[in-house]
Structure 1
């Protein structure tokens, strides 16, 4: 497994954990946590897709 795929796997794990944080915030009833989780998911996925595009341009994927 090359480094680019390892980085993408870590980003996928970060996305899953961010989605889990939304579920946890819903369970405890924390509205601020829900909104923070949503922002975190958008940020992680946006960064991951940007990084994936750069990896493709460089021919690493």
Structure 2
């Protein structure tokens, strides 16, 4: 439990929320909601991978 990187937990929960948003958008047959959720997913996952790379280069992982 002491080795948990909380920033990655937050990124993963945000990515799951974006994926749920895609499902909601499809269920509502709303293209804007689905599109915004897809963009949010790309943004969140991209930032997560960028943060992981930065932390790996700094020796924090």
Q: Do the two structures share a fold, i.e. TM-score over 0.5?
A: yes
Q: Any unmatched runs of 5+ in structure 2?
A: none
TM-score (norm: length of structure 2): 0.89
- Superposed CA RMSD: 1.2
The TM-score, its normalising length taken from structure 1, stands at: 0.89
Which residue of the partner structure matches residue 11 of structure 1? 11
Larger RCO of the pair (alpha carbons < 8 Å, separation 6+): 1
Q: Per-residue displacement from partner, 1:11-30 (whole Å, max 9, x unpaired)?
A: 01110111000001111111
- For structure 1, which runs of at least 5 residues remain unmatched after alignment? none
- Tell me how many residue pairs correspond in the alignment: 60
Runs of 4+ in 1 over 2 A off after TM superposition: none
Residue 43 of structure 1 corresponds to which residue in structure 2? 43
Equivalent residue runs for 1:23-42 within 5 Å: 23-42=23-42
Greater fraction helix: 1
CA shift at 1:60, angstroms? 1.1
